[in-house]
Structure 1
Amino acid sequence: MLLTTETPSEVALSIKKFVENDIALISVGEETQTNIDELINSLNKEGVSFIGAIFPMIIHNDHTSKKGIVIHKLSNVVYLSMIKNISKEDYTIPSVDFKPESNYSLITYVDGLTSNISVFLSNLYENYGMNTNYIGGGAGSLSLKQAPCVFSKDGFFQDAAVVCLTETKSNIGVKHGWKKLDGPFIVTKAHHNTIEEINWENPFNIYKSIVEKDAGGTITNDNFLDYSGCYPIGIIKDGVDHHIVRDPLTVENNNAIVCIGHIEENTMINIMKGENDALINAAKVATEEIVSKAKNAKNAMVIDCITRVFKLKDDFKYELENVYKTIQEKYPDIQVNGALTLGEISSYGNGYIEFYNRTIVVGLLE
């Protein structure tokens, strides 16, 4: 459901009417003029159970907007949780007794600008393993200034994540469409999300030489984002048939490359490149895969990276059109809702949960 009203009490009443006794998953465009603290109070007064987050843009069917609120109605919920202090690793993952014959799906929104997101996701997987599918995204502002961005009945927080575990079957598709340009290379020194050495050398110099040769022009600290938007870094992982893509965000002192998302030392990487047609087709393929598997979908969720908008520009509309039309062909009564995020979260293939960049994740919940 899409809401365009911004008055907290009106939003809360609309959400209560829509979800009834189920759970509301709330995604808010960052330019929406709704006071989140007041919205939390209104939802609590109405007795609505909910989790939510702020994102650069929201998705409704085949459109995006910086303003607006989209709601997913979640049934058969096992638990809701606000998990704080992600960067400090000072938290406890709730324990769950999974029923052997049941299907589960875990949805999580995490502060996309905090550190140790990968550790948090690893902790989720260590506790829940392949008992559940995983889908979610990195919340926050396109300004890239960290601020409160996830919320629940307990309040509005940064450096935190909200989690909802449901006893619901899901099918999840993950694709990005980026291809190898050059590599492999080894990350010989790294700290959290910063690459400090590649092949024991200055990482910016290596990245710069490869990209300048392909793109032309000269890359500097000031124009780095103009180029890095088209040339992400791809992590090579054993047992995974696609790269885990990382967003190169900034350069420190003409040397270290700061990324969105954790990169470990001794990781093998490639420098990637993407053509618009390949990225758009990847979104369609991801959707076709899950539509063919789903038997009785009731909910569609799209988690798409905000940087794909910057790369595709006017062509981005074709990416969402592909997703929406593919779902509508089989499930014409389902709305397609989601968010443009600062990192994408999903389990795929071998079941392990990953934090992606520059990637689209499409989920159908039954």
Structure 2
Amino acid sequence: MSKASMMCYLPGIEAGEIDKKLAEMQALYPKLGVCALLPEAEKDKVAVLQAACKGCQVPIVGGIFPALVQDGHFRTGGVWLLFFREMPYFRLYEDLPTGAAEAEQIAEKVSADIRAQIDHTPDMTLFMLFDAMVPNIGTLLDNLYLHLANRVHYAGANAGSETFQPMPCLFDNERVIRNGVLLLLLTRHKGAILEHGYHTNPHTSYATSTNGNCISQIDWQPAFKVYQDLVREHYGEEVTRENFYQYGVHFPFGIVRANHHVVVRIPVMLAEDGSLFCVGEVPPNSVLTLLKAPTVRMVETLHNLTEGLKSLNGDVSDAELLLFYCAGRRLHLGIEMATTELEAFSGLTQASKVAGALSLGEIGGSTVHGYPLFHNATLVAARW
């Protein structure tokens, strides 16, 4: 008997079809669990999934994203059902605190819960789905790493609306929550590979005044004024208050880290005082560089991603792969080029299935056993 697929895309979310699939999988795996990925257009169907899983006593968790990834396509309808042979440890935390002391306390509690689950099983991955509206994800990741260090691999993505309006986007069997995080502790899982392919502009500046994801000053001047000057000087474009939302995604910042890796930060909002709000925190005195769409090296990115998956897992041809693709990257490249990138990923890996979602920020380590970082504009891939 051939091995059952652990990924199922249903183009329609009908109770009968879900019941049928759950019964089929539960017959094979009595301790079955489900992680469901829904597109924003289907957000009202969470209750249908919860009811179906409750009816057959199957635990379910999941998230709502701007769109789904199905092999070489973006989908705005349907649902991905990602199955576990046995439901792993999971927790759904809501109303995460933003204060420094409170963030440290919740990280300590979460870490204690995780440590209690860690045994001598090799390769455990802490898989995290955050609500994209949580403003201090980077700080929370820092605090988690202080407590857990290299006991686990780190991977994840952000759920929510592409409009960046608050929306309940994480769920389990009973709840649908916002401003929270869904944690899954995956056993015998080697983690994820994260790539963006951006290369730095040699000109750098300093984020001299920041607060969370808000940059108030760059090189001691109003952030938006400096941003305008940099775009004009290096790329010959005029960014105004009126066209900022059109241009921001095409000219993101890069935070240059000590190891010369670049963490992308997309500016998504402009305040009256000239402050810029990004997807993800910008630490004080960060070294910034300006990036541009054509500097995305698609071939290099996909090669690194594919080779990284192989180095982690061995041969991934005919494997089932999970992929999160940044919504900002799709805006940055355009749907046609982004779709081409998806198709090329499926072709290069020769995966039997590629399941995932359009995400609003991604989480991965700088190395296989590395420090977890919150990224924009990346692809995160893992074996399911």
Q: TM-score scaled by structure 1?
A: 0.91
Matching of residue 319 in structure 1 with residue 341 in structure 2 = yes
Q: How big is each residue's C-alpha offset from its partner over 1:243-294, in whole Å with a ceiling of 9 and x where there is no partner?
A: 1111111111151010011111122211122327613531332122212442
RMSD: 2.2
CA distance in 1, matches of 2:19, 2:139: 34
Q: How big is each residue's C-alpha offset from its partner over 1:300-344, in whole Å with a ceiling of 9 and x where there is no partner?
A: 11111011111222111221122111221xx5xx31111110001
* CA shift for structure 1 position 233: 0.9
Q: How big is each residue's C-alpha offset from its partner over 1:73-108, in whole Å with a ceiling of 9 and x where there is no partner?
A: 234654111011224437430232433451112211
How many residues are aligned here?
Answer: 360
Q: 1:344 corresponds to which residue?
A: 362
Q: Evaluate the alpha carbon distance shift between residue 342 and residue 128 of structure 1 in structure 2; reply closer, same or farther with a 3 A threshold.
A: same
Q: 2:59 corresponds to which residue?
A: 49
Q: Is the contact between residue 255 and residue 264 of structure 2 (CA under 8 Å) also seen in structure 1?
A: yes
Q: 1:37 corresponds to which residue?
A: 47
Q: 2:326 corresponds to which residue?
A: 305
> After alignment, is 69-78 or 103-112 more displaced?
69-78
Q: TM-score scaled by structure 2?
A: 0.87
Q: How big is each residue's C-alpha offset from its partner over 1:190-223, in whole Å with a ceiling of 9 and x where there is no partner?
A: 1111001111111111111111233434211221
Please give the secondary structure, in 1, of the residue aligned with 2:250: coil
Q: 2:71 corresponds to which residue?
A: 61
Please give the secondary structure, in 1, of the residue aligned with 2:348: helix
* CA shift for structure 1 position 235: 1.0
Please give the secondary structure, in 1, of the residue aligned with 2:91: strand
What does 1:67-216 align with in structure 2 at a 5 Å threshold? Answer: 67-75=77-85, 77-88=87-98, 89=103, 91=106, 92-93=109-110, 94-97=113-116, 98-100=118-120, 102-216=122-236
Segments of 5+ residues of structure 1 without an aligned counterpart are none
> After alignment, is 69-78 or 125-134 more displaced?
69-78
The structure in which a higher percent of residues are strand is 1
Q: Is the contact between residue 221 and residue 250 of structure 1 (CA under 8 Å) also seen in structure 2?
A: no
Matching of residue 357 in structure 1 with residue 376 in structure 2 = yes
* CA shift for structure 1 position 57: 0.8
Q: Is the contact between residue 121 and residue 188 of structure 2 (CA under 8 Å) also seen in structure 1?
A: no
Q: Evaluate the alpha carbon distance shift between residue 337 and residue 206 of structure 1 in structure 2; reply closer, same or farther with a 3 A threshold.
A: same
Q: 2:304 corresponds to which residue?
A: 285
CA distance in 1, matches of 2:283, 2:223: 14
Q: Is the contact between residue 198 and residue 296 of structure 2 (CA under 8 Å) also seen in structure 1?
A: no
Q: Evaluate the alpha carbon distance shift between residue 213 and residue 276 of structure 1 in structure 2; reply closer, same or farther with a 3 A threshold.
A: closer
Q: 2:37 corresponds to which residue?
A: 27
Q: Evaluate the alpha carbon distance shift between residue 143 and residue 244 of structure 1 in structure 2; reply closer, same or farther with a 3 A threshold.
A: same
Q: Is the contact between residue 43 and residue 64 of structure 2 (CA under 8 Å) also seen in structure 1?
A: no
Q: Is the contact between residue 306 and residue 342 of structure 1 (CA under 8 Å) also seen in structure 2?
A: yes
Q: Is the contact between residue 178 and residue 279 of structure 1 (CA under 8 Å) also seen in structure 2?
A: no
CA distance in 2, matches of 1:11, 1:262: 39
Q: 1:6 corresponds to which residue?
A: 13
CA distance in 1, matches of 2:255, 2:22: 40
Q: Is the contact between residue 2 and residue 69 of structure 1 (CA under 8 Å) also seen in structure 2?
A: yes
Q: How big is each residue's C-alpha offset from its partner over 1:110-169, in whole Å with a ceiling of 9 and x where there is no partner?
A: 101222212222233233221221221110011211110000123000001111102123
Please give the secondary structure, in 2, of the residue aligned with 1:35: helix
Q: Evaluate the alpha carbon distance shift between residue 215 and residue 183 of structure 1 in structure 2; reply closer, same or farther with a 3 A threshold.
A: closer
CA distance in 1, matches of 2:122, 2:87: 13
Segments of 5+ residues of structure 2 without an aligned counterpart are 1-7
CA distance in 2, matches of 1:273, 1:301: 27
Please give the secondary structure, in 2, of the residue aligned with 1:170: coil
Please give the secondary structure, in 1, of the residue aligned with 2:192: strand
Q: How big is each residue's C-alpha offset from its partner over 1:41-62, in whole Å with a ceiling of 9 and x where there is no partner?
A: 3322221112100001111111
CA distance in 2, matches of 1:25, 1:162: 11
**Amino acid in structure 1 at the alignment position of 2:194:** V
The structure in which a higher percent of residues are helix is 2
Q: Evaluate the alpha carbon distance shift between residue 119 and residue 85 of structure 1 in structure 2; reply closer, same or farther with a 3 A threshold.
A: farther
